[in-house]
Structure 1
Amino acid sequence: MKLKSILLLFLIVLTFHVNAQEKNNKSNYYSDFVADENGNRLNDITVRVQGSNRTTKTNINGEFTIEAGEGDTIELSKNGVLINTYVYDGSSEYKIEDNSNRYISKTSKEPENDFLIQLDSAQFYKKRDPFKSIEFIENALKSQTSKRGNSINIANAYEVLGDVYVNLKQYDLAVSNYKTSLSNKSDTSVKLKLAKALTFEGDFNESNTILNSILNKKKTSLQKIEVYETIGDNYLNLKDYVNSETNFNQALTFAKANNYTQKVTILNPKLAEVSRLQGKVSEANMYLNNTIEVSKKATLNKRAAITNSVANQYRDQQNFDKEIELKKQTLQDLEAANLNKVNTEFEDDEEISVQQLNLDIGNAYAKKKSFTKAIGYLEKSKNDADKASDIETKKEAVEQLSEIYKNVGDYKKALSNYQEYVSLVDILYKKKEKEIEAAVTINKTLGEKQNRINSLEKDRELTESNYKLYESEQQVTVENYKRQRLIIYSLIGGLLLLLAAIYFMYKSNKQRRLANNLLALKSLRSQMNPHFIFNALNSVNSFIAQNDERTANRYLTDFSTLMRNVLNNSEEDFIPLSKEIELLELYMKLEHSRFKDKFDYKVEIDENLKISEYQIPPMLLQPYIENAVWHGLRYKKEKGFLKVAFHQKNEESICIEISDDGIGRKKSKELKTANQQKQQSKGMDNIKKRVAILNEMYSDKVDVFIEDLNTDSTGTKVVLTLKKD
C-alpha cells in the first residue's frame, strides 16, 4: 500500500500540468499565457491593451500579466508585426489565426468565479452551518489546487476555515489554519485572529509575541483596541496585573476617542476585575459604575448582559446587596419586556434567563443568611427552570433549597429537595454521556475534513513545486544526467512529504485516542452504584419514621458531605490520596452505621508513608469496599472485620490492601439467585475498564490482584499497587 502511494505521488510530480488564468478583482490585473498549436510556450510576444499605453511581453514560459478588464481588446504582436487581436471577456479559450504565418492558441482552463462563489458560500454558512462551510472551503481549495500564483486565494480560504474552527471552539485547528493563511499572505487582521485563537487555547506568551509584532503596523482603530485588549487579557491570565491594567487602559482610551461604546462597556468591567484582584476595591467600583452608566443607552439585550456581568463582579467582592440590586433590575427589565431570556449579542452568544437570575438572587440572599427571601427566589427559579426544561439551573436551585431547608430545620423538605437533586444529577449524567458521544463524533468528523484539506494543501504545494521545476528546466538547458538527478531529488522530496504526512496522521490518531480515553474516563467516573444512594435515603427515611431526628440529621449530613465530595471529584482525573482516604472513611462510617452488628472496620496507614506524594483516580477503591460489605460481611453470621491498609512497597509505589473475613467469593456466588448470577456487577466492570484505560495512558500505573484471604475460601483480600506520578 505504501509503495502504491509513493508511485502515485511520483506520477503526480512528473505529469501534473495545468494552464492558469487569473483575474484579481481588486487590482484588475489579467494573467495568461501564449502557446502554439502544439502547446509550446512562446516568449517575447508583445501584449498590448488597445487604446492605451499598457504593454508587456511574454516571459520564457509564454506568460504575461497586464492591467485589463473584461471587454478590453488585447493585441498580440511579434517584432512590430501585428499577429491578431481578441476581446478579453472571461472566456475559457481563445484561438487566433495569425496573419504572419504563426498559429497561436491561448488557453485558460478554469474561470476564477468558481473559487469566489465557493468562498462566498463558506462565509455565509460560517455560523449557520459550520460543517457545510468547511465543505465549501474544501471545494474552493480543490479549484485552486491546479492553479498557480493563487496564494491570496489560498490565504483567504484558510482564514475563513480558521474562523469556522473558532466558532466551533476548536482553537488548535483554528491556530493551524491561520498559520497556513499567513504563510501564503501576511495580513494584520489574520495575525490578530491568530493571537486571539492562541489566547483561547491558553498559549498567552506566543499570543503576546504576535500582538507585539503588529503594534507598530498600520491598522484600523478597532484593530488597535483589540490588540491592546487581547494583550491585557493575556497578562491578566498570566497574573501580571500591572501590565494588564496598562493595556486595558490603552484600549479604553482608543475606544472612547473613536466612540466604540460596546468596547467601552467591555473594557470597564475588565479594568474593574484587575483593580479588584489588586485589592483596589473603590477603583474597581468606579469602573463598574461607569459601565452601568454607559449601558443605559444600550439595547435591552446588551444592557442585560452588561448589568449581569457587573453584578457578578460585585458578587466576587462579596457585595451581595449590590449584586441583588443589579440582578433584580435585570429581572425587572426582562419581565417588563415579557421575555423569559435574552441573548447577550456578544461574541460568545450566551443567554441570560429569568430562572438563572432568580437562582443568583436566591444564592445571594442565602449568603446573607436571609433564608426566607432566598427560599422564595429559589422556588421561583426551580419552577421557571422546570417550565423551560433547564435541568442544570433546576439542579442548582434544588441543591441550594435542600441546604437552606436543612439549616432552618425543615428536614422533610430538605430530604425531598435532595432526592429531587439526586434524580436531576442522574438525568444530567445521561445527558452529558450523550454530549460526550456527540463530541467524539464531531471531533472525528472535523479530523477527517481537516486531513482532506491538509492533503489538498500538500497537493497544491506539490503543484507549485512542479511549476517552479518546469520554469527552471525552461530557463536553463541542462544535460540529461542532471535532469535524471532532479527527478530523483523530486522523488526523495515526495517520499519525505509522504513520510511527514504519515507521521502527522500517526500523531493526530494518537492525540485522538488520548482524547477518547479521557472522555471514556470522565464517563466512567460519573457513574456510582445507585443502590447505595437509594438504600442510604431509605435509611434516612427509616430514622425519620422512628422519630430519631438526631440520627437522621447526622446521617443525612454525612451522606450529603460524601455525595458532594464525590460529585466535586468526578471532574478530576486524579485527586490526592489523602482525599480518597477521607472519602473511604466517610463511606465506611455510613455503611457501618447501617450494619453495626455485621462488621467493624479499621484504616491502617504506614507512618513512613508519604501520602502527599501520591495521586489516585477518584472512587477507585470504593467498589472493592462495597463488595466486601455487601457480598462478604453482610451474610456472615457472626460479626466480621474490614481492614484497609496503606503501606510503602518500594520507592516508586505503594500497596493498598482491602481485606475482610467475610463468607468469601465462592460462598457469595452460591448465595446469588439465578437472575443475579446473569448480571455482571457494573461497579466492578467500571473499575476494570478504568484500570485498563489508566494503564494504557500512564504506563501501568495501577495493578490490582484479588485472592481468598484464608485457605478455606473464606475472606477476600484485594491488593492494589499504585505508582507515583
Structure 2
Amino acid sequence: MKRHWLISFSVLCIVLLFPQRTIAQAMPVPKAEKSKQVKISKAAEDLSVSLDENDESKIAVNYEKLANEFLNNGDNAKAEEYFKRALNSYTKLKRTEDKTRVTRSLAKVQENQKNFNSAIKNYEVAGSLSKDVAEEKINLNDANRLKNQSNPASQTNYVDSNIELLKKEKKSQEVTEAYVQKAQNSLDLKDKSVAIESYKNALAYAKDKPESVIKIKNEIANVYASDNQFEKAIGINEKLLAEAVTKQDFNTQIKQLQSLATLYFKKEEPKKALVSLKEAYDLASKKGNSAEAKNTLSALAKYYKSNGNEKESMALYEQFFQNFDELIQSDTTLINAKTFQVTEGKIRQLEKEKSLKDELITKKNTFNYFLLGSILLLLLLFAFIVKALYAIKTKNKEIALQSLRREMNPHFIFNSLNSVNQFISENKELEANKYLTSYSNLMRNMMENSNKDFISLDKEVEQLKKYLDLEHLRFQDKFDFEITVDETLDAERVFVPNMIIQPHLENAIWHGLRYLDKKGFLKLQFRFIDGKVVVVIDDNGIGLTKSQELKTTNQKVHESRGLNNTNERIGLLNELYKKNIAFEIKEKALPESGTIVQIVFPLIDKI
C-alpha cells in the first residue's frame, strides 16, 4: 500500500510539472493576478500587431514592453529573451538612448539569473553608450560591483555611490533596488542591523509598488528569523496576510501562510505550522493554484513522513487525487500559459514572416541601388560625351574664327604690296620706304595678336591708327581721319573684338572716300552708352549705292565675302563668349553722302 501511494505521488508530480491540455471554465481570478495576465496578453497582442504591420519602431517598443511585463511577473528568462530582441530592433533604428536603457535592463535580468559575466559586459556597454555622465557612472558602478563579489565591503562602496547618484536622478525604482543590494551586501558582511535599515530605506522608495513592498517586508522577516527574532518575523507575515485577505490577494495569502508555517517550524511550534500549511493547501486547491497546492502538499507530506504519521499523509494524497481534475480545470495559470503559448507561436510566425520581408526588401533595395547606380553611370557617361562633343564643337568654332580672322590678311597684304609697287613705279622711293616701315610695324602687331579673339582697346586703337596712317600715306589727297575714345572708357582694361573694325575702315576708304572729287573725312569713335561700347565708323564718301555701281564683278564678290566674313566672326564670337555683339551698316540720307557702320557690344573687362 505504501509503495502504491509513493508511485501515485510520483505520477502526481509529473502531471503537475507537465500540465494536461484540458481547458475548462475557470474560477474567478484575483485582481492582482488578473492584472498581470492582462498586461502580458495585451503586450503580446500589441507586439503581434506591430510585427504584422512590420513597423520596426513599434516592434522595438513592444518587445521592451513585453520584457518588462515578464520581469514584473518574475520570469527573468523570458524577460531576457525579449530584451535582447528589443535591443536588436533599437540597434537597427540607431536609437542610442533606447539601446542604453534596454542594455541596462538586460544586464539586470542576467544578474537576477546569476549570469554575472554577461551582466558585467552589458553594464559596461550601457555605460559606454550613456551620454549622461551620471548614468555612465551608475552602470560602471554596477559592473564593478559584480566584479567584486568576493569582496562585499568593496561592493557596498559601489552601491552607496549608486544610491546617491540615483537619488539625484530621481529614479525611485532603481533607488529601491540599490537599497536591496546594500541590504544583501550587509548580510554577506554579517551586519543584520544595517541590512534591516537598508530594507526599510528601500520600502520608503517602493510605496507605489505593492509587490515590491511585500517582497521587501518578507526579506526583513527572514532577517529577523535568521536572528531568532521569530515574534517580529511572524508579526510581519501576519500583517502581510491580513492585508492580502483585505485585498483578496489569494496568491499572497498562500505564500504568507507558507512563510508562517516555516517560521513556526523553526520556532518549534509544529501545530501552528500545520494549521498554516493546511490553510494554504485548502486555499490553493480552492482557488485553482495547482503549483502552490503541490508545494504545500509536499511540505505536509514531508512533515508527516518525518514523524511516522503515514495515515495523515495517505489521507492528504487521497483528498488530492479526488479533487485533482477539478483543480487542474480551475487552474487559470495553465489556461493563461496555453493562451500565451498560442500567442507566442503567432509571434514566432510573424517574426519569420518579417525576416523574409526584410530579406526581400534588402534584395529589392540592393537591386534598386544597382539600377540607380547603373542609371547614374549612364548619365555620367552621357554627360561626358556631351561635354566632349561640346568641347569639340567649341574648338571647331575657335578654329573657324581663327581661320576667318586670317582670311582677311591676304587681301590686306595684297593691297599694301600694290601701294608699295605704285610708289616705286612713280619713283617715290622715300614714300615707299616710309610705307614699308609703317607696314612692317603694323604686320608685326597683327601677327602678335593673330591668335586672340579680344584685345585691349588701347592696342586696338594703336593698331587701327597705324593702318589708317598707311592708307592716308597712299590716299592723302583723298581723306583725313580722326579717332576719338570716350573718356569714361579705360582703354587699358576694356577689351574689344580683334580684327572686326579694320575691314570696315578699309571698305570706307577703298569703296567710298577714294572716289571723291574732293577730300573726304573718316571718323572712328568709341562711345560708352547705357553700359555698352558703341563703335561708330562715319565717312562722307560716295555711299553704298554709287559704290555698287562703280564696282567690278570681282570687287563685288570680294566685298560680299568681306561682309559675310565679319557676320560669321560676330556670330561665332556670340556663340563662344555670349557677348551679344551687334553689327549694322547704313547709308546716309540725302543731301548727305557716305556710310555709317555701327558695332555694339557689352562692356568687357575680363575674358
**TM-score grouping bracket, smaller chain normalisation:** 0.3 to 0.5
Which structure has the larger Rg? 2
TM-score (norm 2): 0.45
TM-score (norm 1): 0.39
Highest relative contact order (Cα 8 Å, sep 6+), 1 or 2?
Answer: 2
- Specify which structure has the higher proportion of helix: 2
